[in-house]
Amino acid sequence: MMLHRMLATALLFLLALGTPAALAQGRTETVLAEGWRFHLGETGGDATAAGFDDAGWERVAVPHTWNKVGNYGVTRRADANTTRGIGWYRLRFTLPAIARGKRVHLQFDAASIVADVWVNGRKLGRHEGAFSRFRVDATDAVRPGNNILTVKVDNSKPEPGSATEFVVPISGDFFMYGGLYRPVSLIVTGQAHIDMLDHGGPGIYGRVTSLDDAAATVAVRTRLRNSGLAGRVTLRTRIADGAGREVARSEQRLDLAAGAITERETALTIARPRRWNGLDDPYLYRTSVELVDRAGTLLDRVEQPLGLRTVAVDADKGFLLNGRPMRLNGVNRHQDRQDKGWALTQADYEQDMALIEELGANSIRLAHYNHATPFFDLADRNGMVLWAELGLVNLASIPGQADTPPAMKANAEAQMVELIRQNYNHPSVGVWSIGNEITNWASKGLTPSNARPLMQALDAVAKREDPTRPTTIAACCEVLPGEKDDGRDRTAGTADTVAYNLYYGWYTSGRVADAARLGPVMQGYHRENPTLPVGVGEYGAGGAITQHTDNVDGGKIESIYRPQAEEIQAGVHELSWKELKPLDFLWGSWVWQMFDATSDLREEGDSSDINTKGLVTFDRSVRKDAFWFYKAAWSKAPVLYLTGRRYVDRAYPVIDVRAYSNFAAAELTVNGRSLGSAACADYVCVWPRVRLAPGENAIVATSGGQSDRIILRYSGPERAIHVRTGTLEGVTLADGTRYGSDNFFDGGLGFTLNPYQRELYAANQARKPAKVAAGAREPRLYASWRAGKAFRYALPLPDGRYRVTLHLFDPVETAPGKRVFTVTPSGGAPVRIDPVARAGAGLTAVTVALPAAARDGVLTLDFAGVTGEALVSAIDVVAE
């Protein structure tokens, strides 16, 4: 009788946990990719009901997004879909026979932004947040045979009363795609399992507690959940090396009460450990945890990566990996891709990582949210140090309210927990970021801000979840070193480190040369905050591969409109890196950004709805010039690359030829004729004033056994030149006359008559009427100008006599005598010019003709202000 009762008790326990034959497999996962039905918008009827007719819905596969945003072209693509709202998904699935008597969970790797889940008409839960994995327990809703899974996702804009009102991020310069854009799967475990409901995390968390050459100690914490009857189980923890050999093992026996949620931690020692050491040696161990019942049946099993390493950040030495300084030279990455949005494949992740590796970067900032697990896995295996970031951008509160609403704070904290638990075991993660550019936007008329309390709370959450890694924050728009405090938010100091997002040469003065401020500003931040590790979270410039300029200093940059010449981007990066490279105290710097990415706020360069600052195009097909600059600066591979190859048809017969190289020098030939060797200082080699022959020109650079070749064409006149001054953009008139962008000048500054109205960009208002110079037969020649007290043009022309025509107008003065200047042509006398007196009014076009002579291959024009500054808006020079 006693034996009978014991057997009966054991049988009940086994039934509660599942049958032994089934449980021998432990955890099983079925990917639910095919067979989905999708509907965008509201439905006519209860779409959650099991019997709802969805036959007319679109057939889709998951991952899936309904949005299609971003294209190269100055008008939005005809098939664009920027809908922000509700999307419905339904799937008929068969419950696997193995699920009988077990726990059944549905796992969503991400759903944007808010997701509600039903099975067979029964609601299982809601998740708020677009970027994290979440799971729901479907055990009590599923049934043998056929089942209906229904998911409603909502990516509505965060407006008052919307489902997303308090779901971070509520602001951001990137498009929030909607849909089930990462995989969905059905997971079966025993009734007792490694906690499937632990904020989307793996339920096991390993940390290095000691590490030296002799031994490493790893503490593995496991969360357990028992949804069945009470019983005794064995918790078996193993660590295997890279070859799969077991190097450490622990077993714990414990009694699990019915409904118990508990944690157990065990310490394991690894003899003669091999460190995870970034790109040099990204060696990985694996941690596996098994849960076994009294009869030896496997109930559940989870495996996670383990890298033996330490990370820290020092205010003077920067980032420390395994106690040694490691300068983080990195890029920012968004997860979207042209024509796919956020619905990526493993091949997409691998291509992104391969391009970043080719560049020579050793770090990636995962901007501005929790990225997909496959990318973390690749970083582990490839040795990339990751900056993992919470999706909190710009605003710490809803518009019009300074303090963070409790619901928004709770959501941000919940997403912080998800970010850390889901990625805790990845050795590639070097820092946790609590947010990006949380600043006082009241100065821009948008909202007041009291951000520090929220940021301090998030930092506390991060330290509670993971005290082994430092925290950081990306700061923007804060008071500059030496400036007076004007009351705006200062989020620097709310985390262990800070990285400043600084776009000198782009968003500042609109001049490439302004990038030289980056170094002094960072030195100032370090000087004023000597105990706070500082870095640069973002820097860069836009680059359109179909737009080009003849001189990057020719005019003011339109940083949020058009054009955005590829050469401008390269110039900003050349100067920025020259400033950053010697700053050993920086804990890291990250280029914004590796790939062009979606932003439906932007009309930039040669694109619509794209942020053009990527080093690689949105579709990953073209490495821009700036990519090759960093490859020369960062990569160990030999690099020799001629720039400007996409600017094939040149406006001028004389150009500077440039190359990027990590060789000390390189030699150039043009059409087989050697132009000699040029030193490659700061990875840039320049051959100035190279004359092109009519037609095609073969340009070849060689060095160290490497060579690169491009073809450039010049089809313009030999004894004439046309310059559109003050601008980065050339123009071809209806009669075929081609004006290059401003070039061959020394001194002065370029200006635009109708600069992009930045204040209206943020407010989404209509542009003001454009100004036009009265009487202009060709207004484009009077849309910009070069001005200064003294400046010169040295135009490359064959020796001889020429007639010069100056196109002039006064954009400011309206009365004669307010602006008077002289122009002295080579071979001629000074000519005194008052543009208002000559035109009869201000903002009125006039031309002035004068003779000149070219000597030694150059025709010069010297401008000098007599009253006010001299100016000129276009120059024509033709042979007499």
Q: What is the DSSP secondary-structure string of 228-278?
A: S--EEEEEEEEEE-TTS-EEEEEEEEEEEPTT-EEEEEEEEEEES---EEG
Task: Kindly report the pTM of this predicted structure.
Answer: 0.94
Give the angle subtended at the CA of 516 by the CAs of 510 and 521, to the nearest 5°.
100
Q: Residue 441 has what DSSP assignment?
A: G
Query: Residue 825 is part of a domain; what is its CATH number?
Result: 2.60.120.430
Tokens linked to 446: 């948008």
Contact between 342 and 349 (Cβ < 8 Å): no
pLDDT tens by residue, 380-427: 999 999 999 999 999 999 988 899 999 999 999 999 999 999 999 999
Mean per-residue pLDDT, 513-529: 97
Query: How many angstroms separate the CA atoms of 823 and 408, rounded?
Result: 63
Q: Fill in the amino acid letter for 353.
A: M
246-256 vs 215-226, strand pairing mode: unpaired
125 to 114, 120, 141: CA distances (angstroms):
11, 13, 12
Stretch (H or E) spanning 635? none
Tokens linked to 60: 């889709």
Contact between 623 and 616 (Cβ < 8 Å): yes
pLDDT tens by residue, 166-188: 999 999 999 999 999 999 999 99
Contact between 579 and 515 (Cβ < 8 Å): yes
Q: Residue 229 has what DSSP assignment?
A: -
User: In this model, does residue 2 exceed pLDDT 50?
Assistant: no
What is the reported pLDDT for 24?
45
User: In this model, does residue 528 exceed pLDDT 90?
Assistant: yes
Whether residue 795 is contained in a domain is answered as yes
Domain end among 714, 733, 756: 714
Cis amide prior to 593 (ω within 30 degrees): yes
Mean per-residue pLDDT, 18-22: 34
Mean per-residue pLDDT, 747-772: 73
Query: Residue 144 is part of a domain; what is its CATH number?
Result: 2.60.120.260
Whether residue 134 is contained in a domain is answered as yes
| 185 & 281 share domain | no
Stretch (H or E) spanning 205? strand 204-211
Query: Residue 678 is part of a domain; what is its CATH number?
Result: 2.60.40.10
Mean per-residue pLDDT, 519-528: 97
What DSSP string runs through 495-530?
SS-EEEE--TTTTSSS-GGGGGGHHHHHHHHHHH-T
Contact between 608 and 75 (Cβ < 8 Å): yes
| Active-site amino acid positions | 437
246-256 vs 231-240, strand pairing mode: antiparallel
| 45 & 172 share domain | yes
Mean per-residue pLDDT, 772-789: 97
* Helices and strands (DSSP H and E) totals, the chain: 11, 56
What is the reported pLDDT for 487?
77
Contact between 571 and 34 (Cβ < 8 Å): no
| 89 & 172 share domain | yes
Query: How many angstroms separate the CA atoms of 768 and 757, rounded?
Result: 8
What is the reported pLDDT for 441?
52
Whether residue 765 is contained in a domain is answered as yes
What is the reported pLDDT for 756?
76
What is the count of structural domains for the chain? 5
Whether residue 64 is contained in a domain is answered as yes
pLDDT tens by residue, 99-141: 999 999 999 999 999 999 999 999 999 999 999 999 999 999 9
| 671 & 731 share domain | no
385-389 vs 429-436, strand pairing mode: parallel
Spell out the residues 6+ positions from residue 459 whose beta carbon is closer than 8 angstroms to its own: 434, 471, 494, 495, 496
User: In this model, does residue 810 exceed pLDDT 70?
Assistant: yes
Contact between 369 and 391 (Cβ < 8 Å): yes
Angle between helices 373-382 and 346-359 (to 10 degrees): 40
Angle between helices 566-580 and 518-528 (to 10 degrees): 40
pLDDT tens by residue, 33-88: 999 999 999 998 999 999 999 999 999 999 999 999 999 999 999 999 999 999 99
Query: How many angstroms separate the CA atoms of 433 and 410, rounded?
Result: 17
| 31 & 177 share domain | yes
Is the model more confident about 253 or about 440? 253
Q: Fill in the amino acid letter for 223.
A: R
Domain end among 691, 714, 737: 714
Best CA proximity match to 647, nearest among 726, 573, 711, 720: 711
Whether residue 598 is contained in a domain is answered as no
What is the reported pLDDT for 561?
87
Query: How many angstroms separate the CA atoms of 34 and 807, rounded?
Result: 65
Whether residue 444 is contained in a domain is answered as yes
Tokens linked to 708: 């690169």
Query: How many angstroms separate the CA atoms of 307 and 270, rounded?
Result: 12
Tokens linked to 535: 């870095």
What DSSP string runs through 790-825?
EEEEEEE--SEEEEEEEEE--SS--STTSSEEEEEE
Whether residue 280 is contained in a domain is answered as yes
pLDDT tens by residue, 831-880: 999 999 999 999 999 999 999 999 999 999 999 999 999 999 999 999 99
Query: How many angstroms separate the CA atoms of 219 and 204, rounded?
Result: 10
pLDDT tens by residue, 154-164: 999 999 999 99
184-189 vs 192-194, strand pairing mode: unpaired
| 296 & 409 share domain | no
Q: Fill in the amino acid letter for 343.
A: A
Q: Fill in the amino acid letter for 717.
A: P
Domain end among 474, 494, 514: 494
Best CA proximity match to 643, nearest among 656, 654, 662, 653: 656
Chain-centroid distance of CA 41 in Å reads 30
Q: Both ends of the chain: CA-CA distance in Å? A: 123
Q: Residue 646 has what DSSP assignment?
A: T
Beta bridge partners of 28: 188
Tokens linked to 589: 């710097």
Band (759; pLDDT cuts 50, 70, 90): very low
| 759 & 843 share domain | yes
Whether residue 785 is contained in a domain is answered as yes
pLDDT tens by residue, 618-640: 999 999 999 999 999 999 999 99
Tokens linked to 2: 């006693």
| 731 & 868 share domain | yes
| 102 & 221 share domain | no
Query: How many angstroms separate the CA atoms of 32 and 374, rounded?
Result: 17
Best CA proximity match to 785, nearest among 874, 876, 652: 874
| 706 & 745 share domain | no
| 124 & 233 share domain | no
| 58 & 162 share domain | yes
22: number of Cβ within 10 Å: 20
Phi, psi of 690, rounded to the nearest 5 degrees: -85, 125
Q: Residue 468 has what DSSP assignment?
A: T
Contact between 257 and 224 (Cβ < 8 Å): no
Provide the domain limits for residue 699: 654-714
